[in-house]
Structure 1
Amino acid sequence: MKKELLIIVFISFIFNLSGQSVDPLRTKDAEAQDIWVDSILKNMSIDEKIGQLFMIQAYSNKDKKHEDYITNMIQKYHVGNLIFMQGTPKKQAVLTNTFQDAAKVPLLIGFDGEWGLDMRLKDTYRFPWNMTLGAIKKDSLITEFGKHLGMHCKRLGIHVNFAPVVDINTNPENPIIGNRSFGEDKENVTQKAIAFTKGMQSQGVLANAKHFPGHGDTATDSHHTLPVLNFDLARLDSVELYPYKRVFDAGMASVMTAHLSIASLEPDSRLPTSLSKNVVTNLLQQKLGFLGLVITDGLNMKGAANYATSAEINLAAIQAGNDLLLIPQEIPATVNMIKKAIELKTLTEERVNFSVRKILRAKYWAGLNNYKPVVLENLHEDLNSIQDELLHRELVKNSLTVIKNKNYNISVTNLEERKIAYVKLGDDSGYSFIEMLQKYGQVDQVYSENLDGLIKKLKPYNLVIVGFHKSNSNPWKSYKFTNKELVWLQEISRENNVILDVFASPYSLLQVKSFTNIEGIIVSYQNSKLAQELSAQLIFGAFGAKGKLPVSIKNDFLEGSGFFTSNLSRFEYTIPEAAQLSSIKLKKIDSLATIILKEKMAPGFQVVVARHGKIVLEKSYGHHTDDTSRKVKNSDVYDLASLTKILASLPLVMKAEEEKKISLNEKLQDLLPGFKNSNKAAVSVREILSHYGRLKAWIPFYVATQDSITHKNLPAFYSNKQSERFSLNVAKNLYINKSYKDSIYKYIKDADQRTTAGYKYSDLGYYLLQEAIENEYQKPLNTLVDEEFYQSLGANRTTYLPLQKFPAEEIIPTEKDNYYRNQLVQGYVHDMGAAMLGGVGGHAGLFANANDVAKIMQMYLQKGYYGGKRYLKTETLDKFNHRYFSDMQVRRGLGFDKPQLNPKVKATCGCVSDESFGHSGFTGTYTWADPQSGIVYVFLSNRVYPTAANRSLVNSNMRTIIQQVIQDAIIN
């Protein structure tokens, strides 16, 4: 007895606290609260009072027998509180309403949802674990997280959520806390807990600080045994108890007492702290002054259940000072034992009244004085909202932590110099990671059964991204490397420039013996789809890293470590609302897609929508052809037709103009001396790019190479075999005489000019610009644009001559040509003139997927800057995105198409700004960018399948109708 008294005195001295100054259960209308509580309490029998002390388990995935059992416990034993476990939200809502109807006093519904309702319920939202959140420096995001979780609980009729975990995880081997903790730093843990509590309790849901007095430095799991903490009082005060003191002062409504053995607090080593009066009453309520609801940890857990019989444990918990018994066993026996204890005066009714009063006050605080049933309508939508997704993305983005960045490998720049491989370690999927990495450039997944084979395969690469992927199903899953993986990691790092991305607990890095040879390390914390996608975006600089390590990795990386990385202004991939677009309104594109496919306007197509540098829609519809065996994929490439003009020729013209190799005022006779005495000699570059040079629209060059009667290709011009003479590949097994290129330029030179001035769209000028550019730089157009733009842009799905780079099954066919090539055109340019040049034309010949087209358009929208590199000057983009002949009703800029001046012309939806620019293509392609709205729109199709006579896509204006949908989706 003297020893216990000494402990209490010492506790009083060491903590020397003023206690919680404000009762967290007291509402603003305290007088009304007291009246409601008193009116209920004074009419309760002793059995009804005892029933209020229980919070029993209820399941929404069990049968009618279980439902009847719970109803019986409520009606016969007056159980006043439930904690819902596994099941589904709709069934839980139905059962909650049923059980509330059975209760005389509204039930306080509890739930254990640390990272969201998903912790227990299917079809609900999952937010990140606390360890992930601990890496976030912006505590306002944690408040938002608490708010969202509170809204979810409130919507489902839950009044107390057993969160946050405020344990300081100082023991990396802790088997039960770990990822559930905000980290090892007491200040960070405290601030996160306060922020979370503020958010959740703002929604009228009680927060719960657990596991008092601190479960963070245990090596065993209290679910299975009684953990022992051999710390003195000074250590407990400075570490374990630190966050509790602070969260109590911040208004924490409830606390959970843990099943621990701590000799410095409770001399009886067998007695769990949850059942110790020294801990629950003397320390928690008297010395720390906690005035809120005191709830035990689950009394079915072995840490408590091994102490005595269930009824004895339940009684001991009340005698220790707990208010609410969580998951008590043997309810009838417990009721009898408590009543017997009152008779024997080892427990007083006043003591029971004290806890019941607090429970009733908590019920009033949670709004149960005005109880309303859970509304079933729109329940799923309310528990899985767009706002939840937006918050989740911000939480993950702000958590990603770069703890090593030698040579500034992160963010990755200079893609033209990189050859990148991805190697997967771990036993879980990395599919979303590699899929996202490949949106930024060529990243090859490299695999081998053995280490030697892998090292050999990695030889050609100068950057290797190693993803370590472990199960994300729950926080307790193993996060450790295998011995084999540790060896492989070291060997890969010894031979290569490596970025290691850890999609698991940061504690996994404790196994790594040396980080010397690893140039970059990212801790992504969890292997969720979203973490994989966002971490890949971080690597390529779509946004910068902000996270700080919440735990230490030996002396290599201390808690709080974390480098900021650069935002390189590359595309971020996200959801519409993140760019202030409505996902609901954008869904209309799906409806229009159905019409396009049903009416056979095109067999398939791709759509990309971006705003403010964020791709919010990237989707493929339909199939390659009317043979529905091959669906269109986002990575498939289309023949861009005339988009080639602004995506290949124009950037090179702008570059040449900047370098003063070409002048906009320069005449054709100066640009190409062979045109000196032609009728085009005085046509300027400005006029060509504006389609104001009086050039004919096009010339069907192929007709002159065919028999005029049979329309068959003449042997003088074509061969089915390649040779030095017949070297230019027109189509499959069809080669044209290389000398015919000269004839094409002669046809253009000799062609009549239009007699009247004015606007006339023409391909011919781009044949000439191609010749001029190739002459100036002494390189083929396709090589030049690839080297100067595509490689560094990461536009690795953009190319001329696609069969040299991609398998045929990744290239969308165009037309069933029965007039020239007499075959299905696939992998060869559809435009006849470009085909006769061997597939590389200034006006046509480029192939790409929609994602790559969007990159180039975004570079233009960002005034020549993308991915950390300036391609073109701002003034250059302004110069070319300008109408020079608008007084002559020419809507075009220099190369770029512009919105219509004549309302009858449907160049755009009529809904974009005058600053906007883009182009369309004959094969059914279209792209547009608007500096005013920040929108980039890409539509790629093969509407010329089966034949070019299929003009329904063009006649329906479907491409610009979709543009209107996008514009209408703008929220602000």
Structure 2
Amino acid sequence: MHQQHGRRRIAVVAGADVLQIHEHDVHRIQGGDPRQRRSTVEAIDWYARGRVVGVGEPRAVFRTAEPMLRTDDHHQADAWRAAQQVDVAATQPVHAGLIREQRDALAGDDMDRVRQQHLDPGSYLRTHAGRRTDGAGDHHEQRERMRAHRLLVVVAVLGCAGGQTVGRTARPVPRSSSPVPTVSVDSLLASLSVRQQVGQLVIPWLSGSYTALDDSLFQVAARWVDSLEVGGLIISVGSPFDIATKLNALQQRSRLPLLVSADLEWGAGMRVVGATAFPQIMAVGATGDPHDAYTIGAAAGVEGRAVGIHVNFAPDADVNNNPANPIINIRSFGEDPHTVSRLVAEYVRGLHEHGMLATLKHFPGHGDTQTDSHIGLPVITAGYARLDSLELVPFRAGIAAGADVVMSAHIAFPALTGSNDPGTLSAAVLTGLLRDSLRFTGLVATDALTMGAIVAKYGAGEATVRAFLAGSDLLLMPADPDSAVLAMTAAVAAGRVTPERLAQSVRRVLEIKRRLGLLERRTVPLDSILRVVGSKRFQDAANDVAVRSLTLVRDVGGRLHALRARARRLALIAYADEANSSVGLFLTDLLRQGGDTVEYFRLWPMSGTLSYDSARATIARAPATVFVANVRPISWKGNIALPDSLAQLITVTDTARPTVLVSLGSPYLLNQTPTVRSYVIAWSGVRASERAVALALLGRVPIGGHLPTRIPPDYPLGWGVIVPAAEP
């Protein structure tokens, strides 16, 4: 630290192998008030520690990545793999997610280029172009002269920073052969005030879409980081570069690294536009292949880490044993708890072996409800014996596989708790059942605290305190982050929350950040995104899962077989909610490319009489009709069903002409159209699923999936009509 003219000036840069301190004018760097005496700390590692998985590396993605878990985190492989305890920390640990220390012969020149380019995300954000600094020229020489005079090695820099303001600019430094000093979690924890500790537990929601640095929406997030000192963010939909640059900018501002999470249930494409979108995970239940679950986890891990996401709020470990459930449905692997367990464990393994933390949700089980917890409070009346034999089975398997986080359910379990309080606010559920009985030692996260089952009764601040007292560590998406921090801080001051209990949760958060390597490197190199996100390898894997998951439930009279026999003239009637504006269009294009003449018409949830009249006219002009319906769980909607008008149209059309009903989502549409004679389930509205349907209708692929859930009253678990591909 240097004292000059009454001001302290310090800037710390964490290089790949050494922490270095250089003098800078701290107030010029951060635009602070020169009258305030404060220090500025920068902790950015600008050097990739080895290789980044790329498109042209055939085996690299599915190899075991660097171990980010310690020796006490083991999992048991399934019987279809070699049955052995796997110690994921058995090799030399490297912490930075996608980054490897060992050179891979498959990487070739691509990795050399990644290793040699020193990308400055700060420059990218300032100029909207990725600036590379090659360590040459006058700037490099000046920096070397500064190093010669002012180099200090720091052992616990962040521990010395206290509550002081964080620097917001950074510059690359040359690689050094010195080791990176270990930052102690104990020293970090000791440096935090009560308010700062509380901030580490709060995880606000952040849009992933582009915003300028001076945009009001970005400034709100910047204030969360600067003032509330939140511990992390949950990122929503955006492009890969928008998400990565926004997260890099916020990581640079943050005193401690941010733990970034996202819902990537069916792959990074669920939130990252252009990343790989697999079918919904019930499709994996239909294939019955655990390797498909592993593959989705692997792809989500690689692509998510490439844009700066560390925690996947997946897999969904719920057993979908209630067909009327409006919010789980195809988000679950299925109805059989043992099958779900096997697939959950493989999904967790796929995430772990590719640098991503895994979450089990929604504890202790959200499958047997008929109420959307975003709207109201579901109640499950089953006792412990039923939960133990059904809902808890996949959670046990996921915990044994080493899952890092468990997310609570906003559901009341009166037989367990003796009250109608939601499980998120119940110590009997989160502490007694999860911690004590299931011996889970990782992070406990609330489901979104904006949900109606919580906010309507308790309010934003009180709900946060109650969730923490019940046993939560991460307070996800509070309705008002400021109120959450204030309420928690007040609860500590009033003695409702003890300092020891607060420190216990904060220590878990800091330890996770340390294990992820975020104390050494918190930003992502932007140039790796193009080689990783949406790569052909993952797209091919998604297409393969989609084809093998196709399930033919019924084909009375061989109508589907007849349609596959020749080029046809078809009416294609597509239905989806407003969020899926392109449903059926890709399918239509592929059928036309295959030789069919297809007339397309789109229906919406709000379609009225005139729209249905137009649909009937479209149907009348073609000798055969294909209905495709993307009915899926949607938060705040409260039901998952076809509109009655559409169900009636399907039924009437089926009596008059050859008709095939294709579900691009919920398997239960047959309950509303019980007389339809040909029914195919594709499980999802993503392009991979529409492609699979087109290939099946053209006769180019077999149909061989099996139901992972019953369709009452006629179709049992495991049902499926097997149809080979048509002969050329």
Counterpart amino acid of residue 363 in structure 1: K
Compared CA separation, residues 173 and 371, structure 1 to 2 (3 A): same
The alignment status of 1:565 with 2:723, answered yes or no, reads yes
What corresponds to 2:203 in structure 1? 55
Counterpart amino acid of residue 710 in structure 2: S
Q: Residues 383-415 of structure 1: CA distance to partner in whole angstroms, max 9, x if unpaired?
A: 222122111111111111112245666555994
The alignment status of 1:541 with 2:689, answered yes or no, reads no
Displacement after TM superposition at 1:139 (Å): 1.6
- Counterpart selection for 2:538 from 376, 388, 393: 388
Contact 1:426/1:481, CA 8 A, preserved across alignment: no
Contact 1:204/1:365, CA 8 A, preserved across alignment: no
Counterpart amino acid of residue 288 in structure 1: L
Distance (whole Å) between structure 1 residues aligned to residue 696 and residue 402 of structure 2: 37
Displacement after TM superposition at 1:109 (Å): 1.1
Displacement after TM superposition at 1:482 (Å): 4.4
Distance (whole Å) between structure 2 residues aligned to residue 228 and residue 475 of structure 1: 18
Contact 1:56/1:328, CA 8 A, preserved across alignment: yes
- Counterpart selection for 1:94 from 235, 238, 245: 245
- Counterpart selection for 1:211 from 338, 341, 362: 362
Compared CA separation, residues 216 and 528, structure 1 to 2 (3 A): same
Compared CA separation, residues 395 and 349, structure 1 to 2 (3 A): same
Displacement after TM superposition at 1:341 (Å): 3.8
Alignment of 1:504-523 (within 5 A): 504-515=665-676, 518=677, 520-523=678-681
Compared CA separation, residues 551 and 45, structure 1 to 2 (3 A): same
Q: Which structure would you say has the larger RCO, counting Cα contacts within 8 Å and 6 or more residues apart?
A: 2
The alignment status of 1:164 with 2:315, answered yes or no, reads yes
Q: Residues 899-933 of structure 1: CA distance to partner in whole angstroms, max 9, x if unpaired?
A: xxxxxxxxxxxxxxxxxxxxxxxxxxxxxxxxxxx
Alignment of 1:491-890 (within 5 A): 491-494=652-655, 496=657, 498-515=659-676, 518=677, 520-568=678-726, 867=728
Displacement after TM superposition at 1:317 (Å): 1.6
Question: Unaligned regions of 5+ residues in structure 2, if any?
Answer: 1-70, 76-86, 96-181, 577-582, 602-611
Distance (whole Å) between structure 2 residues aligned to residue 442 and residue 107 of structure 1: 52
Q: Residues 42-78 of structure 1: CA distance to partner in whole angstroms, max 9, x if unpaired?
A: 3333333222211122334456333333333333333
Counterpart amino acid of residue 587 in structure 2: F
Contact 1:422/1:434, CA 8 A, preserved across alignment: no
- Counterpart selection for 2:551 from 401, 407, 410: 401
Q: Residues 714-769 of structure 1: CA distance to partner in whole angstroms, max 9, x if unpaired?
A: xxxxxxxxxxxxxxxxxxxxxxxxxxxxxxxxxxxxxxxxxxxxxxxxxxxxxxxx
Distance (whole Å) between structure 1 residues aligned to residue 273 and residue 591 of structure 2: 30
Contact 1:36/1:369, CA 8 A, preserved across alignment: no
What corresponds to 2:280 in structure 1? 129
Distance (whole Å) between structure 2 residues aligned to residue 493 and residue 284 of structure 1: 50
Contact 1:479/1:504, CA 8 A, preserved across alignment: no
The alignment status of 1:273 with 2:423, answered yes or no, reads yes
Counterpart amino acid of residue 28 in structure 1: A
The alignment status of 1:79 with 2:230, answered yes or no, reads yes
Compared CA separation, residues 526 and 27, structure 1 to 2 (3 A): closer
What corresponds to 1:436 in structure 2? 590
Q: Secondary structure at the match of 1:135?
A: helix
The alignment status of 1:187 with 2:338, answered yes or no, reads yes
The alignment status of 1:467 with 2:627, answered yes or no, reads yes
Residues matched between the structures, number: 540
Contact 1:48/1:77, CA 8 A, preserved across alignment: yes
Distance (whole Å) between structure 1 residues aligned to residue 468 and residue 635 of structure 2: 32
Displacement after TM superposition at 1:291 (Å): 1.2
RMSD (CA atoms): 3.5
Contact 1:230/1:264, CA 8 A, preserved across alignment: yes
Q: Secondary structure at the match of 1:134?
A: helix
Contact 1:446/1:457, CA 8 A, preserved across alignment: no
Compared CA separation, residues 299 and 402, structure 1 to 2 (3 A): same
What corresponds to 2:478 in structure 1? 328
Q: Secondary structure at the match of 1:259?
A: coil
What corresponds to 2:387 in structure 1? 236
- Counterpart selection for 2:469 from 319, 323, 340: 319
Counterpart amino acid of residue 323 in structure 2: P
Distance (whole Å) between structure 2 residues aligned to residue 499 and residue 70 of structure 1: 48
Displacement after TM superposition at 1:297 (Å): 0.9
Contact 2:375/2:636, CA 8 A, preserved across alignment: no
The alignment status of 1:356 with 2:517, answered yes or no, reads no
Q: Considering only CA atoms, is the larger Rg found in Structure 1 or Structure 2?
A: 1
Distance (whole Å) between structure 2 residues aligned to residue 380 and residue 31 of structure 1: 28
Counterpart amino acid of residue 386 in structure 1: K
Question: Unaligned regions of 5+ residues in structure 1, if any?
Answer: 1-20, 569-865, 868-972
Distance (whole Å) between structure 1 residues aligned to residue 246 and residue 620 of structure 2: 60
What corresponds to 2:57 in structure 1? none
Displacement after TM superposition at 1:258 (Å): 1.5
Contact 1:164/1:207, CA 8 A, preserved across alignment: yes
Compared CA separation, residues 410 and 78, structure 1 to 2 (3 A): same
Compared CA separation, residues 43 and 387, structure 1 to 2 (3 A): same
Q: Residues 756-801 of structure 1: CA distance to partner in whole angstroms, max 9, x if unpaired?
A: xxxxxxxxxxxxxxxxxxxxxxxxxxxxxxxxxxxxxxxxxxxxxx
Q: Residues 418-442 of structure 1: CA distance to partner in whole angstroms, max 9, x if unpaired?
A: 6845343443554443443455556
Percent identity, please. Answer: 29
Displacement after TM superposition at 1:211 (Å): 0.9
Distance (whole Å) between structure 2 residues aligned to residue 264 and residue 325 of structure 1: 26
The alignment status of 1:28 with 2:89, answered yes or no, reads yes
What corresponds to 1:43 in structure 2? 191
Distance (whole Å) between structure 2 residues aligned to residue 59 and residue 426 of structure 1: 29
What corresponds to 2:402 in structure 1? 251
Q: Which moved more, 1:356-365 or 1:470-479?
A: 470-479
TM-score, normalisation: structure 2: 0.67
Displacement after TM superposition at 1:372 (Å): 4.2
Distance (whole Å) between structure 2 residues aligned to residue 414 and residue 235 of structure 1: 46
Contact 1:180/1:475, CA 8 A, preserved across alignment: no
Distance (whole Å) between structure 1 residues aligned to residue 485 and residue 514 of structure 2: 25
Contact 2:628/2:663, CA 8 A, preserved across alignment: yes
Compared CA separation, residues 28 and 353, structure 1 to 2 (3 A): farther
Distance (whole Å) between structure 1 residues aligned to residue 282 and residue 295 of structure 2: 17
What corresponds to 2:518 in structure 1? 368
Displacement after TM superposition at 1:31 (Å): 13
TM-score, normalisation: structure 1: 0.51
Contact 1:87/1:121, CA 8 A, preserved across alignment: yes
Compared CA separation, residues 430 and 94, structure 1 to 2 (3 A): closer
Distance (whole Å) between structure 1 residues aligned to residue 646 and residue 378 of structure 2: 32
Distance (whole Å) between structure 1 residues aligned to residue 398 and residue 411 of structure 2: 21
Displacement after TM superposition at 1:187 (Å): 2.3
Distance (whole Å) between structure 1 residues aligned to residue 249 and residue 619 of structure 2: 63
Distance (whole Å) between structure 1 residues aligned to residue 216 and residue 616 of structure 2: 60
Displacement after TM superposition at 1:543 (Å): 2.1
Q: Secondary structure at the match of 2:357?
A: coil
Distance (whole Å) between structure 2 residues aligned to residue 173 and residue 311 of structure 1: 33
Compared CA separation, residues 413 and 51, structure 1 to 2 (3 A): closer
Contact 1:465/1:501, CA 8 A, preserved across alignment: no
Distance (whole Å) between structure 2 residues aligned to residue 123 and residue 457 of structure 1: 37
Displacement after TM superposition at 1:332 (Å): 4.9
What corresponds to 1:176 in structure 2? 327
Displacement after TM superposition at 1:550 (Å): 2.3
Distance (whole Å) between structure 2 residues aligned to residue 308 and residue 457 of structure 1: 57
Q: Secondary structure at the match of 2:286?
A: coil
